[in-house]
């Protein structure tokens, strides 16, 4: 396992590094990435052998409490990092807290700004949910020759801006394969087939937490069923508590603190003296 110094100056072990991800290209091997936002989720990802996680920039410190070894990419939100100064401040806070890279769906100038500081930057191409008004809905991007060529041009512009990797969301698998052969970017497939360097899915989809599993996803668990059982059990417990309070059966004698009769009598006597 590589030993590096992170951006906070700490000597750490990492399952994966930027150099290691770049070495995946053409190797036939894939890394796996999932979403996390808590220490518990990060610990589970590491225990499962997942090499990479992505989290909100504000949650990096919490995620690092769960895993010191996974490769963490911090997502720079649209609202909390708008100006150039805010973008840099948020990015440096994230990497200092333990992130290995940052991801942004902003324009080329933002990618260039971060890259100029030698921060590992991940772009976002294909279907970008926050920008879906441009595509007219939730759909794959690159399904026509002209649109695929325009997408390829965006890959090249992202390379020129200094990104080292790109999240490729809902790109036709055959288009992704052609682009992956031609780009130097580390490609991260979210619903874009198996030809990319990294395969990415949301933890909520993997664990079966969502009501509707997207077409590109697969559920290996059924946390929705467990969460429903937890909600039912919580309601049952709270209802029982309220009913026993109303009936007077809670708290019972053995659920309260006691005082010896002699001490109680002494207390009463002291109360009588103070009231005279």
Q: pLDDT tens, 108-139?
A: 999 999 999 999 999 999 988 888 898 888 89
177-190 pLDDT, tens per residue?
999 999 999 999 99
Range of the domain at 264: 232-275
Contact between residue 8 and residue 97 where contact means Cβ atoms under 8 Å apart = yes
Q: What pLDDT is attached to residue 210?
A: 84
Q: Which of 179, 197, 221 is the last residue of a domain?
A: 221
Q: Indicate whether 243 pLDDT > 90.
A: yes
Mean pLDDT over the full length of the chain? 95
Q: Are residues 167 and 259 in the same domain?
A: no
C-beta separation of 195 from 142 below 8 A: no
Domains held by the chain: number: 2
How far is residue 12 CA from its own chain's centroid?
21
Residue 255 and residue 181 in one domain: no
Q: Given a cut of 80, is residue 275 above it in pLDDT? A: no
Establish if 103 belongs to a structural domain.
yes
Is residue 237, in this structure, part of any structural domain at all?
A: yes
Percent of the chain topping pLDDT 70: 100
Is residue 183 located within the same domain as residue 81?
Answer: yes
Q: What percent of the chain has pLDDT over 90?
A: 87
Residues 166 and 254 in one domain: no
Asked if 201 and 246 sit in the same domain, the reply is no
Same domain, 159 and 243: no
Q: Is the pLDDT of residue 53 over 80?
A: yes
On whether residue 196 sits in a domain, the answer given is yes
Query: What SS3 state is found at 81?
Result: coil
Does pLDDT of 87 surpass 90?
yes
226 belongs to a structural domain: no
Please check whether residues 147 and 252 belong to one and the same domain.
Answer: no
Same-domain check for residues 93 and 53:
yes
pTM of structure: 0.88
């Amino acid at each position: 396992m590589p030993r590096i110094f992170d951006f906070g100056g700490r000597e750490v072990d990492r399952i994966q590094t930027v150099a290691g991800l770049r070495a995946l290209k053409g190797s036939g091997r894939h890394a796996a990435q999932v979403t996390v936002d808590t220490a518990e989720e990060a610990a589970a990802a590491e225990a499962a052998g997942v090499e990479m996680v992505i989290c909100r920039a504000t949650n990096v410190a919490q995620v690092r409490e769960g895993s010191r070894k996974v490769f963490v990419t911090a997502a720079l939100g649209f609202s909390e990092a708008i100006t150039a100064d805010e973008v840099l401040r948020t990015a440096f806070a994230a990497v200092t807290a333990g992130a290995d890279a940052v991801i942004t769906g902003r324009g080329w100038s933002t990618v260039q700004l971060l890259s100029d500081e030698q921060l590992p930057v991940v772009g976002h191409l294909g279907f970008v949910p926050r920008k879906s008004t441009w595509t007219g809905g939730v759909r794959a991007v690159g399904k026509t020759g002209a649109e695929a060529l325009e997408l390829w041009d965006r890959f090249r512009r992202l390379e020129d801006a200094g990104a080292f990797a790109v999240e490729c969301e809902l790109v036709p698998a055959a288009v992704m394969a052609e682009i992956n052969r031609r780009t130097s970017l580390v490609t991260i497939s979210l619903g874009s087939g198996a030809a990319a360097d990294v395969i990415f899915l949301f933890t909520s989809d993997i664990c079966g937490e969502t009501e509707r599993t997207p077409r590109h996803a697969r559920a290996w668990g059924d946390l929705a069923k467990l969460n429903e059982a937890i909600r039912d059990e919580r309601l049952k417990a709270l209802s029982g508590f309220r009913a026993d309070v109303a009936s007077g059966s809670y708290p019972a004698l053995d659920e309260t603190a006691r005082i010896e009769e002699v001490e109680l009598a002494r207390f009463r006597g002291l109360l009588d003296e103070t009231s005279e």
